[in-house]
Amino acid sequence: MTDQDLYTLDAQGTGWLHIPDVDRLRPFLVSVVSPSDHWLYASSAGGLTAGRVSPEGALFPYQTDDRLHRAHHDVGPWTLIRVGQVAWEPFRPRAHAGIRRHLRKSVAGDQLVFEEEHLGLGLVFRYRWAFSERFGLVRTCTLEGPGLDEAVDVEVVDGLQGLLPAGVPLKLVQTSSCLVDAYARAEWDPVGELALVSLEARPSDRAEPSEALRATVAWCAGLDAEAVLLCRDQLDDIARGATPRHEDLVTGRPGAFLVASTLHLAPGGRHLWHVVADVERSHLDVAALRQRERAGLTEVIEAETAATAAALDGILSDVDGHQRTADPVLDAHHRANALFNALRGGLPVDGYRVPAAAFVAFVRARNRAVADRARAWLDSLGTGAVEVGVLVEWARTTGDADLIRLARELLPLWFGRRHGDPSRPWNQFSIRVRDEAGQRRLAWQGNWRDVFQNWEALLLSYPELTEGVIAVFLGASTRDGHNPYRITSEGVDWEVPEPDNPWSFF
């Protein structure tokens, strides 16, 4: 197989990297990216963790990658397809003869597709992970019958298991998960057709009230629900032929959302549905979801996920991430490199321009004495945008060496986040790309070495930021050559020694 065989282009013009018979390889970790605050890490075997902002906002438990490779038994998607007396559970740990499994990832990096063929039944089942800014994590499922000789009725049970309630601390998930289950509450809202997974109360041993006021929310579009399951307790019996029993409320068990439905599939036919989930939803969020328009919802969801790819295209344009040569795999490799540089080091929010108010806030955060000393001058800057080079020239007119240094150190970057994933569990990340007003948030953070490596590539696209990067580099280094553990737009973090932690080094 050549590199060209690994690249496909679909009818919508989306490029995909394709790995046929992926189960013949050892499981490996795949990241799926978003232009917003979503994050998702998946094993090629099907296990995954995902959420918003940080591991504290996980939809599925944040685990190290070795555990993700084994997690698909009880965390993430679960599907049962029954035709007559034949029960098919796609993506179970061991595939039997007559099963083929494939994996595809969009060149944009924002979508991941798992596909399984059942040659005996003549069916193909696939699901795609994607993101929606409005709705959260979107799993789009497709069942096709390319090998059917006649129309069949297909019983389907499909959805998500291992859903975390909102507001669970990461340490509790990783060290005392039994307590998370004990406090969990999953309920079905028939009016809004929503599954709500929440905590009965915040886990605590203190004799004081501690309400949990947010929920994980899951719902489906495209399946007529004959029963809804809120935990995985019935799944083994259903796989053996039992009829799914509807559940309205489940407590003290890991949360789930699965829908039982019957489909009629003709030869060459196709049925599509979406399972959608999001974290940390408030009462107002749930009320709004209850009022969502059901008609045309599939088209709305597809438009939302398409907007994700378009937003990533815009980000890649800002860092010269697009190229087109005779080798599409080479182009995809360049795009991925540029994207991950932007993810780690950030990129300019508006070229070389920065709101003057952002500089004022930067000075006040970095040096209150300078901010007090230059208050009148800072107030005179107004609220408009100014190029960073002009800002440095303005600062020079004050003759204040500290103010000039701070003007040089202001980097108008957004989108960057600390480098970390389940294979590097010591690197905690926080993805905050928008402020409370929904505007691009000027901020960056990273491990000292990583962020400068990514800024080297960024400076090829934005050479006028070179002086600012050098100023930050020197400002984050001591006279005798030491550097901090982490640097951010707010300052520096020196590593705190942890004598009992073998991964802590000072």
Note the pLDDT tens digit of each residue in 362-415: 999 889 999 999 999 999 988 889 999 999 999 999 999 999 999 999 999 999
H/E element holding 34?
none
Lowest mean pLDDT of 7-16, 149-158, 268-277, name the range.
Answer: 7-16
List the chain domain ranges: 3-313, 347-493
Asked whether the predicted pLDDT for residue 357 surpasses 60, the reply is yes
The pLDDT confidence band at residue 488, using thresholds 50, 70 and 90, is confident
The whole-angstrom separation of Cα 322 and Cα 339 is 10
Predicted local distance difference test score (pLDDT) of residue 373: 92
Asked whether the predicted pLDDT for residue 235 surpasses 70, the reply is yes
Predicted local distance difference test score (pLDDT) of residue 29: 94
Asked whether the predicted pLDDT for residue 506 surpasses 70, the reply is no
272-294 pLDDT, tens per residue?
Answer: 999 999 999 999 999 999 999 88
Global pTM reads: 0.91
Asked whether the predicted pLDDT for residue 190 surpasses 80, the reply is yes
The whole-angstrom separation of Cα 21 and Cα 289 is 39
Strand ranges in 29-121 using DSSP code E only, listed in sequence order? 29-32, 38-43, 48-52, 76-83, 86-88, 99-106, 112-118
Asked whether the predicted pLDDT for residue 76 surpasses 80, the reply is yes
The whole-angstrom separation of Cα 463 and Cα 352 is 10
The whole-angstrom separation of Cα 447 and Cα 417 is 10
Asked whether the predicted pLDDT for residue 238 surpasses 90, the reply is yes
The pLDDT confidence band at residue 94, using thresholds 50, 70 and 90, is confident
H/E element holding 358?
helix 356-366
Asked whether the predicted pLDDT for residue 176 surpasses 90, the reply is no
User: Mean pLDDT, to the nearest integer, of 210-225?
Assistant: 93
410-447 pLDDT, tens per residue?
Answer: 999 999 887 678 887 777 788 989 888 888 999 888 87
- For the chain, the average pLDDT equals 90
Strand ranges in 61-119 using DSSP code E only, listed in sequence order? 76-83, 86-88, 99-106, 112-118
Q: Does domain 3-313 have CATH number 1.25.40.10?
A: no
**Residue 18 vs residue 483, higher pLDDT:** 18
Asked whether the predicted pLDDT for residue 5 surpasses 60, the reply is yes
Predicted local distance difference test score (pLDDT) of residue 87: 94
Residues 6+ apart with CB under 8 A from 357: 381, 383
Strand ranges in 358-481 using DSSP code E only, listed in sequence order? 385-387, 413-414, 445-447
Predicted local distance difference test score (pLDDT) of residue 1: 55
CA R_g for the chain = 25
Predicted local distance difference test score (pLDDT) of residue 3: 57
Burial class (CB in 10 A: 0-12, 13-18, 19+), 353: middle
User: Mean pLDDT, to the nearest integer, of 458-479?
Assistant: 88
The whole-angstrom separation of Cα 270 and Cα 264 is 10
Lowest mean pLDDT of 184-188, 204-208, 283-287, name the range.
Answer: 204-208
The whole-angstrom separation of Cα 356 and Cα 478 is 29
The whole-angstrom separation of Cα 92 and Cα 176 is 27
| Phi, psi dihedral angles at 126 (to 5 degrees) | -140, 150
